[in-house]
Amino acid sequence: MSLVAKQPLAFGAATIGNLYREVSDERAQATLEAAWDAGIRHFDTAPHYGIGLSERRLGAFLQTKPRDEFILSTKVGRLLDPADRIEGDDMAFEFAVPRTHVRRVDNSAGGIRRSLEDSLERLGLDRVDILYLHDPEEAPEGLEPALEQGLPALAALRREGTASAIGVGSKDVAALTAAAKSGLADTLMISGRFTLLEQPAAEELLPVMAERGVAGVAVSIFNSGLLAKPRPASDARYEYAAAAGELVERANRIADVCEAHGIDLPTAAIAFPLLHAAIEARVVSASSPQQMEQTAQRAATPVPDGVWRDLVSAGLLDAALVP
């Protein structure tokens, strides 16, 4: 059993890094406590989320818990350098925080080591369980050099015991597939590429992962919000931008099928990724205790097999994805 398979539902801490809107320290801690009370013991963060705020808040919470009772992942590849002067906010990256630092991509061995050291300082912990190379496809030097530098550097940290498992976190199927084929990755975090709405990861990536024993963690399973409510909101987001009309229509058609079976769209979206054997965990998020409790209830709700069959019949899901 892989590390992530032990905890198949994870909390994604971008929201407590003030993704889209400000969340108070008190509300962030209460949300994390609600996740813990719901049985979640797998937490994911990154320096990118609120330029360090997510790591600091999550670390402050996890320091109060027994270290052997939770799985923690963070990411490397973006260093946070102090800004020359604090000016404006970070909403260009969708985080409602002061722009105290600037991000600098660095996938070198030295940069990755420094990134982890900085993360551990913010977290107040001495190790992480999983370390991901974050969005290597965005590196100025290109994807291939980023992976050629980054993955061996991560493997060195794994040998040293600072991380138990390594991999890549990305929305880019080509980057994830290359990482799966490298022979170095234990775990891949697949962002938005295997969801109830769309499944481009199913064509090549997931079969390669299954063949090579690489564990998958599905994140952005609501496609940035489009599948997060029983019916898509008028201002629903997709890929962090306004959702196109055809995508909203597709989400509504999926919701029709779900409602016919007595469940709602987010419940099916949470359940869907585990239909594939290569996906061993899903990441959910929340920005309030109430939202966390509702999401946990949905995650615990069984989805009738008929939902998947009817989605296939409606042309909304590939029959090959239904066991």
The tens digit of pLDDT for each residue in 106-119 reads: 999 999 999 999 99
Residue 233 pLDDT: 80
- SS3 of residue 130 by DSSP: strand
Residue 236 pLDDT: 84
Residue 237's pLDDT band (cuts 50, 70, 90):
confident
% of the chain beyond a pLDDT of 70: 100
Task: Report the candidate in 3, 127, 117, 14 with the shortest Cα–Cα distance to residue 67.
Answer: 127
Residue 242 pLDDT: 86
End-to-end CA distance of the chain: 20
For residue 78, the 8-state DSSP code is: E
Residue 189 pLDDT: 98
- Residue 49 is among the residues annotated as catalytic for this protein: yes
Please state, as a whole number, how many other Cβ atoms lie within 10 Å of the Cβ of residue 237.
18
95 in Cβ contact with 38 (< 8 Å): no
Residue 196's pLDDT band (cuts 50, 70, 90):
very high
Residue 36's pLDDT band (cuts 50, 70, 90):
very high
- In the predicted model, what is the mean pLDDT of residues 228-232? 93
Q: Rounded distance, CA 3 to CA 283, Å? A: 14
In terms of pLDDT, which residue wins out, 40 or 234?
40
Q: Rounded distance, CA 101 to CA 87, Å? A: 10
Q: Rounded distance, CA 122 to CA 47, Å? A: 9
- In the predicted model, what is the mean pLDDT of residues 200-220? 97
% of the chain beyond a pLDDT of 90: 92
Q: Which entry of 20, 49, 132, 238 is annotated as an active-site residue?
A: 49
Q: Rounded distance, CA 173 to CA 193, Å? A: 7
- The DSSP H or E segment spanning 228 is none
Question: Taking the mean position of all CA atoms in its chain, how far away is CA 229?
Answer: 18
The predicted-structure confidence for 116-139, as pLDDT tens digits, reads as follows: 999 999 999 999 999 999 999 999
Residue 1 pLDDT: 79
Residue 24 pLDDT: 98
- SS3 of residue 175 by DSSP: helix
Residues contacting 87, CB < 8 A, separation 6+: 99
Check: pTM over 0.75? Answer yes or no: yes
Query: Which token pair is 291?
Result: 């939202």
Candidate from 48-57, 164-173, 222-231, 292-301 with smallest mean pLDDT: 222-231
Task: Report the candidate in 13, 4, 67, 71 with the shortest Cα–Cα distance to residue 42.
Answer: 71
Q: Rounded distance, CA 299 to CA 267, Å? A: 6
Domain ranges of the chain: 4-244+262-300
Residues contacting 189, CB < 8 A, separation 6+: 44, 73, 132, 167, 168, 169, 170, 217, 219, 283
Residue 220's pLDDT band (cuts 50, 70, 90):
very high
The answer to whether residue 27 scores a pLDDT higher than 80 is: yes
* Kind of pairing between the strands at 9-12 and 89-90: unpaired
Q: Rounded distance, CA 121 to CA 98, Å? A: 20
The answer to whether residue 240 scores a pLDDT higher than 80 is: no
Residues contacting 43, CB < 8 A, separation 6+: 10, 11, 13, 32, 35, 58, 62, 70, 71, 72, 73
List residues bridging with 78 in a β-sheet: 105
The answer to whether residue 63 scores a pLDDT higher than 80 is: yes
Residue 48 pLDDT: 98
Residue 90 pLDDT: 96
Residue 69's pLDDT band (cuts 50, 70, 90):
very high
Residue 239 pLDDT: 84
4-244+262-300: CATH topology: TIM Barrel (3.20.20)
Mean pLDDT of the chain: 96
Task: Report the candidate in 71, 47, 63 with the shortest Cα–Cα distance to residue 119.
Answer: 47
- The DSSP H or E segment spanning 219 is strand 215-219
